[in-house]
Chain A
Amino acid sequence: MNSRVLLAIAIAVIGAAACAGLPLILAGEPYLMRLVTMFSLLLVLAASWNIVGGFTGYPSFATGAFFGLGAYAAAILQARGLDWRLALIVAGIAGAVLAAPVGYGVLRLRGHYFAVASLMLGAILRELTTGWSDLTGGGMGLTVAGAGGDPERLAAFSLRISLALAVLTVLLGAAIKWSRLGFGLDCIRMNETAAAGIGVDAQKLKTYAFTLSSVTSAIAGGVYAGWIGYIDPTDVYDVMWSVKPIVAVLLGGVGTILGPIIGAALFVALEEIVWRNVLSFSSGGLGVLIVLLLLVLPAGVLPSLVSRKRRP
């Protein structure tokens, strides 16, 4: 128990220090600042996905759907003059309002069927967003005022808020994992029938997990919209927003607290390397990376290192 509290405190302290310090340290390095912001957003999504995909064991491909939903909710509200803080909160609420009923329905499915249904959710939202052009601008996209004013302040601001959100999401993950809810999710992941047999209300707990994970994903979308300043449906509902967090968590270690952090950092670094060194095959390079990762390190970096230490 104690080591857990220590870990949580360490994450919070380091996170707070990073939120306060990094924007200042990186002030002269806008590119690094951008990379760290990207890392933070990926971390939010990875840690969010980990709640459903890692703790509960449901292979969700819906992260991108909620990311896009949050991006649009925040962007539309900001365009209507709402304060960015409120806009982010409403984006989170929008995520929850969609996730709760959808999750309740979709989470009755298992395995491939769940994966397909969750994948379809993003496609449907994208089409609806594109179609409802009076509200969303449709295929024309939407310009977001953002919160920071001039570009430099916007960059620093976006870094700070995405880092803060990342720290909160990791802590949320830890809180869930070490709570009654997390214990129940563990049971569900390992054996849902047996879990029901000992009184675990699987449907309820799964829906909680799915909803919480969607809230943070949606807020991440809102932060992203303000940061980039322009969103369109193909961009924010891109299936990559669902796949990259999964790859990051697979890279770091599924179902662990630190896995998403390590995974997101490695992923951003690897992606950057591939992107710099391979010009027109960079998406393909990402594919090669995924294939290699799953063949060589199927359990992720963190568990591989830990199990190495344990072995004689």
Chain B
Amino acid sequence: MNTALLDVRNVSRQFGGLKATDDVSFKLNEGEIVGLIGSNGAGKTTLVNLVTGHLKPSRGEIMFCGQDITGHKPHVLARRGLMRTFQIVQPFNDLTALDNVAAAAMFTGHTRSFSGAREQADVALSNLGIGHCRDHLPVRMTLAERKRLELARAWVARPKLLFLDEVNAGLNSGEIEGVLGMIRKIAAEGVAIVIIEHLMKVVKGLCPRLIVLHRGQLLASGPTDEIARNPSVIEAYLGARGAAAMLGEQP
């Protein structure tokens, strides 16, 4: 009896007449790193919102650690170890970096005291390489630092499953390398991670498995190499011209 960490079953979500997510099913195991890819508007962020409770599915169900969490509120899921970062960073602007992270430690239920929360936050900041920003307000930090701040906020909550929504968007290649290093470090602690990206290049080295969305539907799911060679994926995902470029890029 092997229950998956996350089991998404036939989930759909409509906005008016538009099906943003259409009958999507997939499973995740503990400690797995998976890439969730698809072009803009493929429904990646909607799917994340559905799983993390920011949106309610119109149909279908979602199981987490063997329990039905369909329609549960985001704060409940966060406390149960289902965390996410946002595509556009969402720091608390009037709190220092330390308190940004301390809030996560406190409200995900790992401590009730301020001093305890700040201690944990301190460790998290150092761990993610932004200990020097401890007393800075988010506005004084670079985008890369703020991305790491979001990671720290997620990490301090000791999640079982972490969704990273376009965590590399807007960063240069050096910064991306740094963040990817952090992600590996977090994954090494046994946290299952879903990386949402539209650049397949970024996730290829990191994720053994990919899930591809196209127009709200699950197009393919499987080992990265296989997916990368799947012509329908390449065509749907990159268009005919991109497909050629992609295939040409193969080593």
Contact present between A and B (CB < 8 A): yes
- The CA-CA distance from A199 to B106 in the complex, in Å, is 8
Report if B224 contacts A (CB, 8 A).
no
Q: Which of A184, A194, A196, A198 has the most CB of B within 10 A?
A: A198
Select which of B53, B90, B106 is within 8 A of A180 by beta carbon: B106
Q: How far is the CB of B164 from chain A (nearest CB, A)?
A: 12
A194 touches B91 (CB 8 A): yes
Q: How far is the CB of B106 from chain A (nearest CB, A)?
A: 7
Interface segment, one of A16-24, A185-193, A206-214: A185-193
Q: How far is the CB of A192 from chain B (nearest CB, A)?
A: 10
- The CA-CA distance from A191 to B92 in the complex, in Å, is 6
A180 touches B112 (CB 8 A): yes
* Contact A197 B52, CB 8 Å, known A180-B106, A187-B107, A191-B90: yes
- Which size bracket describes the interface of B in this complex? 20 to 34
- How many A-B pairs have beta carbons closer than 8 Å: the answer is 76
B78 touches A197 (CB 8 A): yes
* Contact A198 B107, CB 8 Å, known A180-B112, A191-B90: yes
The SS class assigned to the A binding surface is: helix
Q: Which of B90, B99, B107 has the most CB of A within 10 A?
A: B107
Residues of B within 8 A of A187 (CB): 92, 95, 103, 107
* Contact A197 B103, CB 8 Å, known A186-B95, A190-B95: no
A193 touches B54 (CB 8 A): yes
Report if A235 contacts B (CB, 8 A).
no
Report if A154 contacts B (CB, 8 A).
no
Report if B83 contacts A (CB, 8 A).
yes
- The CA-CA distance from A199 to B74 in the complex, in Å, is 7
A200 touches B107 (CB 8 A): yes
Q: Which of B73, B78, B79, B112 has the most CB of A within 10 A?
A: B78
Residues of A within 8 A of B153 (CB): 198
A199 touches B92 (CB 8 A): no
Report if A183 contacts B (CB, 8 A).
yes
Q: How far is the CB of B149 from chain A (nearest CB, A)?
A: 11
Write 19 A-B pairs (CB below 8 A) sorted by A numbering. Answer: A186-B92, A186-B94, A186-B95, A186-B103, A187-B107, A193-B86, A195-B75, A195-B103, A195-B107, A196-B73, A196-B78, A197-B74, A197-B78, A197-B90, A198-B104, A199-B75, A199-B78, A200-B75, A201-B107
* 9 closest Cβ pairs, A-B complex: A194-B90, A199-B107, A198-B104, A199-B108, A199-B78, A196-B74, A190-B92, A200-B107, A199-B79
17 extra interface residue pairs, beta carbon distance < 8 Å, beyond A197-B83, A201-B107, A203-B73: A183-B114, A184-B103, A186-B95, A186-B103, A187-B103, A190-B92, A191-B90, A194-B92, A195-B103, A196-B53, A196-B78, A197-B74, A197-B75, A198-B78, A198-B157, A199-B75, A200-B103
Instruction: Report which A residues bind B (CB closer than 8 A).
Output: 180, 183-184, 186-187, 190-191, 193-203
